[in-house]
Amino acid sequence: MAYDLLTTSGINSLVNSYINSEKSNRISPLETRKTKYTKISNIYSGLLTKVDALKSKMNTLKATGTSSAFAAKKAVSSNTTAVTVSASQSAQRGNFSLRVNQLAKNDLVVSLDKNSNSFSSITAPGTYSFTIKSGDGEGGQFYSNISLNLTESDFTNGNITFDALSKKISKAINDDKAEVLSDSVSGSSISSGTFKVNLNGTETTINYSAGTYEEVIDSVISQLENISGLTAEKVADGSNVKLKFTVTDSSKYISINSDTGSLLSELGISVNKEKGASGVVSAASFYPAAGLSQISLTAKNSGSGFSIEEISDTSGNILSEFGLNLGTNRTAFVQNESGEDTAGFVYNLSSLNAKINFNGLNIERYSNTISDLVTGVTISLKAVMSEDDTDVNIDVTNDVSSVKGKVEEFISAFNDIYTYIKTNSTSVDGVRGILLGDASASSLLNILSSTAYSPVSGLGSGTINSLSKMGITFNTNTGLSITDSSQLTNVLEDNILEVEQLFVSENGVASNLYNKLQPYTGSAGYLTTRKNSLDNNIESINDSITQAQSKIDKRAEALRMQYIQLQSQLSELFASVGNFNSDIWGI
């Protein structure tokens, strides 16, 4: 019956029927278009990614000089137990012989061995200071001034054990940073001028003008704060002030000089290559035997140029407690079986450098890693050779495997684009390929095909002027492939310069292909522009779908209210004539 349609379920059916009809007529066509554009956009997105990947490979292969992929070298050692080698692209091909006669060592000082629980002669809290001077590797010195502050809490009944003291000394050394503290001053400076702060070889000019020391120091600090790796502060000393510098990186030294006025003299600042002790030596507190405590100081860098040149107490006798107040004397360390050891140096100066025989020449270096002997070659010494060992042969050659790998990466990226375009330009079972007839895709195929089989203009016919002369073949269906691996290996070994020109010359494979791909990528590239247009269409369709859905929902709700009103009116009609049947309506 007609009134069955005005039941609750009937009304829902009528409204749903309207919604489905409207969606079919108004939204489904939009979703079909959206699906089509989304598919095309995804295809372009994939193509854009693949073009960028090939461009990246071409960018690598078109580089010249020492950055050229074809300049890759490898170095091989005939005895890797004694020597390992590596070569950069700047290395020249060649062959060398080498013998390792001595390995470089880090200078080492060892203290007396003291009974751990015995008390030292240090009985009073206070600040104890000492100096370590070491070579800077260039014939000069680094200066390290270390302070150790002992407090009441470090003592028990006025005593401190050798074990506790050894740890305090080691920690003071390992925590030390280069610090410069001026004299305490008050009043004003009448001097104006400049001075230079040299932080590990980088100079900064500091300007100052006459004024109160408070003002002058504040001005200097504001300039010092711009130097990375350096902090500065004004330290109050009663009514006086001090200027304090701290080098935060203990691997760097500081020098302060070249004052055109008199400020540095007024402040009592005189600093030349001050370096934190933690940057020149490493200290350790250890136990050579049960109940004994000992200290060692090891230079951070190997070789005689970085040796420990002086170690001296400057205030108090903190080093003397362990026999380390050696001054400039290079006393030899002696380990005694009974009684105290003799504090001193473990190695002679002559034992600190690496010593090798290179192509018949006796050569010394501070380090076991030698990179200044053969251009582009790093030699790492691993072990001293015996008389029976044959000389190590070092062979520097073209790194064929590296270059071949780059060529294979190019082929892979080339084929990735080529087959992608071919696949998406082919119709299957009557379904048209998305890129079929696409101007950008067709143009890219032509560029790739031409690059693959055409000789490079400007290169002679008797040279390697095409990929085919490298054993690389082009197939119109599948792209490039290495069909003669031996031929490829041979040309890379014997004619690397011609291969390089094939890729990097003005019209070379890499240079030419990179330039021709350039217009397709980037924010204004052909592919990007096309994809952006598709994405804008998709966004517009999404807006249309949203608007259509909103209208359908609004109209459906209006229909529902109309049907409900009719339902109510019909119910009242039936009630008025006494024919209302609640079983029919279900309410």
Question: In this predicted model, what pLDDT tens digit does every residue of 552-577 receive, in sequence order?
Answer: 889 888 888 888 888 788 777 767 76
The span from the CA of 409 to the CA of 403, in Å, is 10
The span from the CA of 108 to the CA of 307, in Å, is 8
In the chain, the domains with their CATH numbers are: 39-69+401-527 (no CATH), 76-103+357-393 (no CATH), 106-176+278-349 (2.60.40), 179-275 (no CATH)
Q: What pLDDT is attached to residue 578?
A: 58
In this structure, the chain runs to a length of 587
The span from the CA of 504 to the CA of 69, in Å, is 10
Q: What pLDDT is attached to residue 6?
A: 65
The span from the CA of 12 to the CA of 22, in Å, is 15
The answer, yes or no, to whether residue 14 has pLDDT greater than 50, is yes
The span from the CA of 149 to the CA of 168, in Å, is 9
Once rounded to an integer, what is the mean pLDDT over residues 114-129?
A: 96
Q: In the chain, pLDDT over 70 holds for what percent of residues?
A: 97
Once rounded to an integer, what is the mean pLDDT over residues 66-75?
A: 91
Mean pLDDT (the chain, rounded): 92
Whether the CB-CB separation of 177 and 248 falls below 8 Å is answered with: yes
Beta-carbon neighbour count of residue 398 at 10 Å? 20
Whether the CB-CB separation of 519 and 439 falls below 8 Å is answered with: no
Backbone angles phi, psi at 244, to 5 degrees: -125, 125
SS (H, E, C) 7-69: CHHHHHHHHHHHHHHHHHHHHHHHHHHHHHHHHHHHHHHHHHHHHHHHHHHHHHHCCCHHHCH
Beta-carbon neighbour count of residue 515 at 10 Å? 14
The answer, yes or no, to whether residue 586 has pLDDT greater than 80, is no
Once rounded to an integer, what is the mean pLDDT over residues 73-84?
A: 97
Q: Which residue has the higher pLDDT, 18 or 95?
A: 95
Give the pLDDT band of residue 10 (cuts 50, 70, 90): confident
Q: What pLDDT is attached to residue 559?
A: 86
Once rounded to an integer, what is the mean pLDDT over residues 265-269?
A: 97
